[in-house]
C-alpha cells in the first residue's frame, strides 16, 4: 500500500485550525504585502478559507486592543498581528514600538492563544520594502509558519 506523504497528513491536520489575522492600515502598502504573504502561506498549508478571519484596524497601536478583544471573544488557535512602524522625526516610533511589543506580549501571557508579532519596526521605508517581499524576504510568510506551529502546539495540549 502506498504511504501517505507526511506533508499531506499535516495538511489534513491543518485544515481544522482556526486563524485570525489583524492588519494595521498605517503604511498599508507594506502591511498589504505582509498580509498577502501570511494569507497565502496559510492557504498553501491546508487551512480552510472559512477558518481564516481577517480584521483591519487603523494603526499598529490598535493591534493591542483588537488582539485582546479577539482573544476574549473567539477561540482561534493563533492570532497574527500585522503592522509597519517606520521611524519618523518624532519620538512616536520609539513609544509605539515599545507599547505594541509589550502590549502583544501581555496578551500572550494573559490569554490562551498565541499572538504572533508580525510588526516591522524599521528605520526607513526601504527597510520595510526589503522585509515585505524584497531582498530580506517576506516576514508575513515567516509569521504565518510560526502561527501554524504555535496553533498546532496549542491544540496538542488539552
Beta strands in the chain (DSSP E): 19-24, 52-57, 78-86, 115-122, 132-134, 137-138
Pick the closer one to ligand RBF by CB: 30 or 148: 30
Task: Indicate the residue whose CB is closest to ligand RBF.
Answer: 59
Pick the closer one to ligand RBF by CB: 42 or 85: 85
Cβ 99 to ligand RBF shortest distance, Å? 9
CA–CA separation, 46 and 143 (whole Å): 16
Cβ 58 to ligand RBF shortest distance, Å? 5
Question: Which residue(s) pair with 85 in the sheet?
Answer: 121
Pick the closer one to ligand RBF by CB: 13 or 69: 69
CA–CA separation, 70 and 80 (whole Å): 11
- Where in the sequence numbering do the catalytic residues fall? 92
Cβ 92 to ligand RBF shortest distance, Å? 4
Which residues form the interface with ligand RBF (CB under 6 A)? 24, 26-27, 58-62, 83-86, 88, 90, 92, 96
Within 8 A by CB and 6+ apart from 17, the residues are 47, 51, 77, 78, 148, 151, 152, 155
Amino acid at each position: 500500500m502506498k504511504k501517505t506523504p507526511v506533508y499531506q497528513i499535516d495538511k489534513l491536520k491543518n485544515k481544522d485550525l482556526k486563524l485570525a489575522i489583524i492588519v494595521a492600515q498605517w503604511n498599508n502598502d507594506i502591511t498589504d504585502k505582509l498580509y498577502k504573504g501570511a494569507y497565502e502561506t496559510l492557504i498553501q498549508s491546508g487551512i480552510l478559507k472559512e477558518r481564516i478571519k481577517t480584521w483591519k484596524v487603523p494603526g499598529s497601536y490598535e493591534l493591542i486592543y483588537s488582539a485582546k478583544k479577539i482573544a476574549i471573544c473567539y477561540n482561534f488557535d493563533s492570532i497574527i498581528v500585522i503592522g509597519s512602524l517606520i521611524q519618523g522625526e518624532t519620538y512616536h516610533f520609539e513609544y509605539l514600538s515599545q507599547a505594541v511589543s509589550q502590549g502583544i506580549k501581555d496578551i500572550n501571557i494573559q490569554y490562551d492563544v498565541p499572538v504572533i508579532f508580525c510588526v516591522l519596526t524599521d528605520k526607513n521605508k526601504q527597510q520595510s520594502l526589503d522585509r515585505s517581499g524584497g531582498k530580506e524576504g517576506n516576514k508575513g510568510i515567516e509569521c504565518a509558519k510560526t502561527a501554524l506551529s504555535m496553533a498546532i502546539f496549542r491544540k496538542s495540549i488539552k
